[in-house]
């Protein structure tokens, strides 16, 4: 049996399991925690994100080499932030426009990571992607980290979006599902390096008012990442 076949089965079975109120985490693959965040928790997280953006403004990343702008605007929080420009993709400790360190990761995000990541050290970066109505995210792997043992934890706020996830090759078959505001995905284990992306947004479906964040903003995605290898003796948690 191919790796892809096993991977797809994992994804589909996890999606089915996620129909349960509190999906349990399973490091073997992708775990879809449907509606993990209540409306109150979503609003609290949105206000944390608004405060962060006031300190660390959104910037327009550019594709490596071509310099073509992404359709999403970005910022980060935590000790490291993911940036992309003509020189390439990388993590760095300073905002590419202001030159200031990224703002600290809010306690709400650290708590969420500790609850769902199944990983013994805290995340070092939270990439914040801001989608306008027509924005999308092409199929990609998250592979700029040195530690693939840690999952990537993804939180959606705002309009629903069609998410796709495939296998380890760009051309592998994909499954698609709808990410709603308050949904959390953990991409770990066999699916850590799976290709994934956002096909489109479903306008007018947001339970939250994102206008305070940015007038054109329709969806926010936060991805928590461990970037460097953890040192369990100093960073491990009981
Ligand atoms: C998004 N998500 O939902 C894009 N990456 O807007 C991602 O790129 C992503 O959902 C790694 C793990 C989970 C994700
Ligand atoms: Fe990603």
| Residue 31 CB less than 6 A away from ligand 1 | no
Distance 234 CA to ligand 1 centre (A): 29
Q: What is the pLDDT along the chain (238 residues), one digit of tens a residue?
A: 333 344 444 444 454 444 433 333 343 478 888 888 999 999 999 999 999 999 999 999 999 999 999 999 999 999 999 999 999 999 999 999 999 999 999 999 999 999 989 899 999 999 999 999 999 999 999 999 998 999 999 999 999 999 998 888 898 888 888 999 999 999 998 889 989 999 999 999 999 999 877 889 999 999 999 999 987 555 555 4
Question: Which tokens go with 92?
Answer: 């760095």
Q: Which residues, other chains included, contact 152 with Cβ-Cβ below 8 Å and sequence gap of 6+?
A: 142, 186, 187, 188, 192, 223, 224, 225
By the 10 Å C-beta count (0-12 exposed, 13-18 middle, 19+ buried), 32 is classed as buried
Query: Which residues is 32 bridged to in the sheet?
Result: 185
Distance of CA 159 to the CA centre of its chain: 15
Global confidence as pTM: 0.88
Is 121 a pocket residue for ligand 1 (Cβ < 6 Å)? no
* Residue 18 pLDDT: 46
Ligand 1 site, residue 75, Cβ cutoff 6 A? no
Ligand 1 neighbour 165 (Cβ under 6 A): no
Candidate of 138, 154, 165, 192 to mutate for ligand 1, largest count of ligand atoms within 8 Å of Cβ: 154
Ligand 1 within 6 A of CB of 181: no
Give first-to-last CA distance, the chain, whole Å: 37
Q: Candidates 36, 138, 221, 227: which one to mutate for ligand 1, based on the most atoms within 8 Å of Cβ? A: 221
Q: Which atom of ligand 1 is nearest to the CA of 140?
A: 8
Q: Ligand 1 within 6 A of 10 CB?
A: no
83 lines ligand 1 (CB under 6 A): no
For ligand 1, is residue 117 a contact (CB within 6 Å)? Answer: no
Mutate to test the pocket of ligand 1, among 130, 131, 185, 218 (most ligand atoms within 8 A of CB): 185
d(CA 112, CA 127): 15
Which residue has a Cα nearest atom 10 of ligand 1?
A: 154
């Amino acid at each position: 049996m191919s790796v892809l076949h096993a991977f797809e089965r994992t994804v589909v079975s996890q999606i089915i399991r996620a129909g349960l109120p509190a999906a349990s985490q399973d490091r073997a693959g992708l775990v879809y925690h449907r509606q993990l965040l209540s409306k109150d928790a979503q609003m609290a997280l949105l206000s944390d994100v608004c405060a962060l953006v006031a300190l660390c403004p959104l910037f327009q990343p550019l594709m490596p080499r071509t310099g073509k702008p992404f359709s999403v605007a970005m910022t980060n929080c935590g000790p490291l932030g993911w940036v992309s420009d003509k020189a390439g993709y990388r993590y760095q400790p300073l905002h590419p426009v202001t030159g200031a360190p990224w703002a600290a990761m809010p306690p709400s995000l650290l708590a969420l990571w500790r609850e769902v990541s199944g990983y013994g050290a805290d995340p070092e970066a939270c990439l914040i992607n801001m989608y306008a109505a027509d924005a999308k995210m092409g199929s990609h792997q998250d592979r700029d980290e040195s530690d693939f043992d840690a999952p990537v934890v993804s939180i959606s706020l705002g309009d629903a979006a069609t998410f796709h996830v495939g296998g380890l090759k760009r051309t592998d078959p994909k499954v698609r599902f709808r990410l709603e505001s308050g949904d959390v995905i953990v991409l770990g284990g066999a699916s850590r390096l799976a290709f994934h992306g956002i096909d489109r947004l479903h306008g007018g479906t947001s339970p939250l008012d994102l206008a305070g964040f940015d007038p054109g903003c329709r969806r926010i995605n936060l991805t928590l990442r461990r970037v460097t290898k953890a040192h369990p003796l100093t960073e491990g948690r009981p």
